[in-house]
């Protein structure tokens, strides 16, 4: 049986304390939060624009043409004139690397015979240039592998042969805007790269300039 005292005790336990009033942000507080968010966004935008500007100011590394690097290597080889084997290794490697890069002719693991044989099957060089190149590489091989000891005049002749081949095959900027061509016998083929004129063409050009 539930007495009145028990009912009153139960009712007293059910009464809870009132919660404190919830503070509603006023207009100034909302304005402060908004301005803070805008300041952070502006700072991030400024940092992004600065990063983009610095990125555009970075200058690309200039690409040094193959013939320029080849001439630099040949110039360095002159310091090895008293060391025939290192000299011949440097000049022969320079010529091979130059031809591979200049004409996109990849044969890095080929022997001299294999390299020349593959080159003979292309129209990358004139017949006399192929012959001169073959003689040049074979003379270098004699020093590199057969322990042949040439004198300074012969080494300078090898150097001149290498330099002459680079100069004969380096790109020629005519400034005419005419698409470059490659000469193949009596025909000519547009290649998209700067042409290597035939010796006869260079001679006639020099005569006309005179």
Residue 208 located in a structural domain:
no
Give 124's DSSP letter. Answer: S
Taking the C-alpha atoms of residue 26 and residue 50, their distance in angstroms, rounded to an integer, is: 37
Q: Which two tokens stand for residue 174?
A: 């005519």
Q: What is the pLDDT of residues 78-94, one digit of tens each?
A: 999 999 999 999 999 99
Distant-in-sequence, close-in-space partners of 24: CB < 8 Å, separation ≥ 6:
none
Residue 104 located in a structural domain:
yes
Q: Is the pLDDT of residue 151 over 70?
A: yes
Q: Which two tokens stand for residue 144?
A: 């590199």
Nearest in space to 150 (alpha carbons), one of 94, 81, 92, 90: 81
Location of structure tokens 């000469």? 183
Q: What is the dihedral of CA 30, 36, 37, 38, to 10 degrees?
A: 110
Q: Which domain holds residue 95?
A: 66-170
> pTM for the complete prediction?
0.56
10 band by pLDDT with thresholds 50, 70 and 90: low
184 bridge partner residues: 187
Give 83's DSSP letter. Answer: -
Give the mean model confidence (pLDDT) for residues 62-70. Answer: 91
Residue 92 located in a structural domain:
yes
Q: Is the pLDDT of residue 203 over 80?
A: no
- Mean per-residue pLDDT over the chain, rounded: 76
CATH number, domain at 71?
1.20.120
Q: What is the pLDDT of residues 85-144, one digit of tens each?
A: 999 999 999 999 999 999 888 776 788 899 898 888 888 899 999 999 999 999 999 999
Stronger pLDDT, 36 or 55, i.e. the higher one: 36
Q: Judge whether 160 and 174 are in contact, CB under 8 Å.
A: no
Q: Is the pLDDT of residue 9 over 90?
A: no
Number of domains the chain contains: 1
Predicted pLDDT at 77: 95
Stronger pLDDT, 93 or 174, i.e. the higher one: 93
Give the mean model confidence (pLDDT) for residues 29-53. Answer: 81
Cβ neighbourhood burial of 70 (10 Å; 0-12, 13-18, 19+): buried
Predicted pLDDT at 154: 95
Q: Judge whether 114 and 120 are in contact, CB under 8 Å.
A: no
């Amino acid at each position: 049986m539930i007495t009145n005292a028990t009912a009153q005790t139960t009712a007293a336990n059910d009464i809870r304390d009132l919660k404190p009033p919830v503070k509603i942000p006023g207009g100034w507080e909302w304005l402060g939060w908004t301005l803070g968010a805008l300041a952070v966004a502006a700072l991030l935008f400024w940092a992004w624009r600065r990063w983009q500007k610095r990125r555009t100011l970075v200058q690309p590394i200039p690409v040094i043409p193959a013939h320029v690097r080849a001439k630099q290597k040949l110039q360095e080889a002159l310091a090895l004139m008293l060391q025939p084997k290192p000299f011949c290794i440097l000049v022969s490697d320079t010529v091979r690397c130059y031809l591979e890069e200049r004409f996109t002719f990849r044969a890095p693991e080929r022997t001299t015979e294999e390299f020349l044989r593959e080159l003979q099957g292309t129209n990358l060089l004139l017949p006399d240039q192929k012959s001169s190149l073959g003689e040049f590489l074979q003379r270098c091989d004699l020093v590199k592998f057969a322990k042949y000891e040439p004198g300074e005049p012969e080494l300078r002749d090898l150097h001149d042969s290498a330099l002459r081949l680079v100069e004969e095959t380096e790109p020629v900027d005519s400034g005419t805007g005419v698409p470059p061509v490659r000469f193949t016998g009596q025909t000519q083929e547009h290649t998209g790269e700067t042409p290597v004129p035939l010796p006869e063409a260079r001679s006639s050009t020099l005569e006309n300039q005179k």
